[in-house]
Structures are given as structure tokens and as C-alpha cells.
Amino acid sequence: MKLAKVLLALAPVVIGVPVLAATIPAGAAAAPVVVARYDFDAGATASGRIAEKSGRGVPLRIRTADRGSVQFSAAKTGGKYVRMPLRCAAGADTCPRALLEGGDDADLDPGTRAFRWGATILVPKSQLAGSSNVMQKGVSTTESQWKMQVGETHGRAQCVVVGRGSTTHYLIRSTVVVADSKWHTVLCQRSGGSLTISVDGKARGKVAIPSNLSISNDKPLRVGGPNFNTSSDMYHGYLDNVYAALG
């Protein structure tokens, strides 16, 4: 467990980051093959590159706008986690923004295969703005998409998929709140005709999807936001253990 004190908004909180293994529920039919993993323990290089740790994925690069920055916080027990810029103040002329981007990677285009994506997050409800995008590949109106986000209204984690040749969104919301200034592991999983979401190792929602829904696109992996448009649903919290797996 990573332990540290961090400051989010106005109040300090003591946080412990769950390890990656805890994000994969026990009893899975077959062990997934991790195809992208980012633990942020090494921080970033001088050129803004973040290492990929599975050996199959691509590194992330830090992208910023309007003086946004990404901060790496060191844990007392070793390793690091990352903090995205805080939510823009009401009435501000410019909003510091940042996201982490990886190149297009065929391993992240699962087609109709079983696929899961997860992250460890900490965000207070006051830092939610729209649907705060934790991670995604693809655009809902173009080609196809898989995505994890946190909804502003209820502070619940959400998993979204859109198949090729369609603009129909399939979305499942967790039955528990995750925007509570505590660390939570969130797992989205597509398997056959279902899309499920788990929080802290427990199943927290399921929705039926077409079994032939196919996800494949030429878009980059993005963590912390979809783009830099003024209406973007940026994520304004802490992140760790971001990963994707086939199976």
C-alpha cells in the first residue's frame, strides 16, 4: 500500500493507494493479459514521457494547455502517483489543463474480444466537472470507443462503450459513490454480451450490450481528459495503476 498525506482542495487527507493486483476480481475465468500499465513510480522524463510497465504498451506523454501541469507525489512507502490540475475557478478566463497521451496501439483495439480497463482514483466531488474522463480510447461519434469516467451529478464511476458503425452509447454506473476524497480501484470489463463495473474488487453494476459490438479505432489512448476543447470533461483528481488487459 502506498501511504502519504496530500492536499486536495482545502483539506488534507491521508491516502493509501491499492496495488494493481487488487483491481482484478477473484474468480475470473481466465487470467487477463495486461497490454498497458502505468504505475507512475518513475515520474516523467525531462521530455515529459511516462514509462509503460507491461512491456507491450506505449509510453504516455504529458500534454498541457494554459499553464496546466501534472504533478507526481511520492508515497512514504515508495512509488508515486499523479495529480491532474484542479478544476477551473468559476469565472476564470483560462483554465490550466493537462492530459496523458499514448499513441494508437492495436492491443487497445479489442474488437469483440473480452477486454478490461482500470485505474485507481481519488477525487472529491467538488472537483468534478461534467463527466470527468479518467481514461479512454476513441471518440463516441467516430469509429468506436471504450471509456471510464466519473459523473458529476452523483459522483459515481461509469464505464462506456460504443461499437463500430454505431453511435449508440452503452453505459453502466456504479451503485456506489467514488467521488468522496478516498482511493478507489475501478474496473470496467466487456465480456461477450455484457459490460460490468467493479469498485474496490466488488461488482457494482452490469448492463447488456450486443455480443457482436466491436471496438477498434485509430485514436490515441488518453488519460485524464478527452482533448483540450473548452467543453472537455477533464479529470481533476489523483491517479495511479492505470491499465488495460485482454481477456
List the end-to-end C-alpha distance of the chain, in Å, as a whole number: 26
Kindly report the CA angle at 163 between 161 and 169, in degrees rounded to 5?
45
The mean per-residue pLDDT over the stretch 120-142 comes to 94
pLDDT grade for 7, boundaries at 50, 70 and 90: very low
DSSP class of residue 180? B
Given a cut of 90, whether residue 28 has pLDDT beyond it is: no
Please compute the mean of the pLDDT values over residues 117-121 and round it to a whole number.
Answer: 98
Mean pLDDT of 180-186: 97
Strands (E), 140-231: 142-151, 156-162, 170-177, 184-191, 194-199, 202-208, 221-223
Helix, strand, coil shares, percent, the chain, to 5: 5, 50, 45
- Residue 100 vs residues 50, 71, 209, 233: alpha-carbon distances, Å: 9, 12, 29, 14
Global confidence as pTM: 0.87
C-alpha cell at 35: 497490454
Structural domains in the chain plus CATH codes: 2-246 (2.60.120.200)
pLDDT top residue among 213 and 2? 213
How many Cα atoms are found within 13 Å in the side-chain-facing hemisphere of 131?
A: 13
| pLDDT for res 228 | 87
| Structure confidence at residue 229 (pLDDT) | 76
pLDDT digits (tens, 9 = 90+) for 206-241: 999 999 999 999 999 999 999 987 667 999 999 999
